[in-house]
């Protein structure tokens, strides 16, 4: 039995009838699949500031250099300060989360590409005021919109970040030291390389040279850079490089046929003919027969539970 990971979520996505029209936007993937691993803690900022159900819809409007949340039918309704304030009020609640799933397009909860009206013309270049404030308060917190979770790459990226962000907090709570920080980095090094090789190398170099700095100061900057790298979606070409690197640990153990099978598997993944899980499963098979401590401790080949089936779509 695994401990569920606390994750915040927009209330409408778990079926609570808090939408302006009294409806909801329950998402079955979130509830049925992610719900096996995430403990969802729901919140609706518009309800929290007293707008009620049913209610007048609001939208974001550019006024001079400020974005305001105003009523669509009655512009006398203005809740900008209230939405920002309620996000600040929830800081002590947000700090216990390892991820947050928000409602796409919402003027309060949307993460990106929310409509901002300027002279009556909508531009999709904003963020919901509640979510924007929360992300400013917790820039390392993995945040994703429910609509984007339909994309296999973005879905895997978000879940990936949630699991890793929790592991980071577990390391910190267990008394962070230079040794445990180096161990954390080593176990995630191959994952970082699958996202951005240049930034991953630089972060590793800076970590190796950082021991004269105050640990707490470096750790804060380290995890910010670490999570920023993870936010960049992993590229197929980077995965191929990592797979080839891992294969190198087996060069003395495998016979000619096994080497060819593994090479073909990686090449077919590179060409898009096979999902990532295929070469990874083959590598796992060989390392069970020929264990390697570094590879065994690395999270790359098992970043999250297999039951989530995320690697099957990459």
> Is residue 38 within a helix (H) or strand (E), and if so which, with residue range?
strand 38-43
Cα–Cα distance measured from residue 283 to residue 298, given in angstroms and rounded to the nearest whole number: 13
Listed in sequence order, the residues at least 6 apart from 273 whose beta carbon sits closer than 8 Å to its beta carbon are none
> For 154, left (φ over 0), alpha (ψ -120 to 50), or beta?
alpha
Q: Residue 67 and residue 64: Cα distance in Å, rounded? A: 8
d(CA 218, CA 277): 35
- Measure the CA–CA gap between 270 and 39, rounded to whole angstroms: 36
What pTM, to 2 d.p., does this model score?
0.94
How far are the Cα atoms of 1, 29, 268 from residue 36, in angstroms, in the given order?
11, 10, 32
Q: Which pLDDT tens digits describe the chain residue by residue (314 residues)?
A: 578 999 999 999 999 999 878 878 888 889 999 999 999 999 999 999 999 899 999 999 999 889 999 999 998 999 999 999 999 999 999 999 999 999 999 999 999 999 999 988 999 999 999 999 999 999 999 999 999 999 999 999 999 999 999 999 999 999 899 999 999 999 999 999 999 999 999 999 999 999 999 999 999 999 999 999 999 999 999 999 999 999 999 999 999 999 999 999 999 999 999 999 999 999 999 999 999 999 999 999 999 988 888 888 88
Residues sharing a CB contact under 8 Å with residue 4, sequence separation 6 or more, in sequence order:
37, 38, 39
Alpha-carbon distance of 309 to 313, in angstroms, equals: 8
In angstroms, the CA 287 to CA 205 distance is: 28
From CA 275, how far away is CA 266, in angstroms rounded?
A: 10
Under 8 Å between Cβ of 47 and 11: yes
- The strand order across the sheet containing 38-43 reads 38-43, 5-10, 100-102, 143-145
């Amino acid at each position: 039995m695994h401990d569920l990971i606390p994750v915040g979520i927009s209330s409408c996505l778990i079926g609570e009838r808090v939408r302006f029209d009294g409806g909801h936007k329950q998402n079955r993937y979130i509830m049925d699949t992610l719900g096996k691993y995430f403990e969802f803690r729901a919140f609706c900022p518009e309800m929290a500031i007293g707008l009620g159900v049913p209610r007048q819809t609001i939208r974001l409007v550019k006024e001079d250099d400020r974005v305001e949340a105003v009523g669509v039918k009655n512009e006398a309704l203005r809740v900008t300060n209230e939405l920002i304030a309620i996000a600040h009020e929830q800081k002590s609640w947000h700090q216990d989360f390892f991820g947050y799933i928000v409602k796409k397009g919402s003027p309060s909860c949307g993460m990106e590409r929310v409509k901002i009206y300027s002279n009556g013309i909508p531009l999709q270049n904003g963020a919901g005021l509640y979510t924007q404030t929360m992300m400013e308060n917790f820039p390392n917190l993995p945040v994703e919109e429910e609509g984007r979770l339909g994309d296999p790459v973005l879905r895997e990226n978000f879940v990936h970040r949630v699991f890793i962000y929790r592991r980071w907090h577990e390391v910190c709570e267990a008394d962070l030291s230079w040794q445990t920080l180096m161990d954390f980095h080593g176990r995630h090094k191959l994952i970082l390389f699958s996202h951005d090789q240049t930034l991953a190398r630089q972060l590793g170099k800076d970590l190796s040279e950082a021991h004269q700095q105050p640990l707490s100061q470096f750790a804060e900057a380290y995890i910010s850079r670490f999570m920023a790298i993870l936010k960049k979606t992993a590229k197929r070409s980077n995965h191929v490089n990592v797979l080839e690197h891992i294969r190198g640990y087996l060069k003395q153990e495998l016979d000619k046929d096994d080497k060819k099978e593994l090479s073909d598997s990686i090449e077919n993944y590179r060409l898009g003919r096979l999902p990532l899980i295929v070469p990874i499963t083959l590598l796992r098979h060989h390392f069970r027969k020929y264990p390697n401590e570094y590879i065994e401790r690395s999270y790359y080949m098992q970043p999250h539970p297999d039951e989530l089936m995320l690697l099957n779509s990459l």
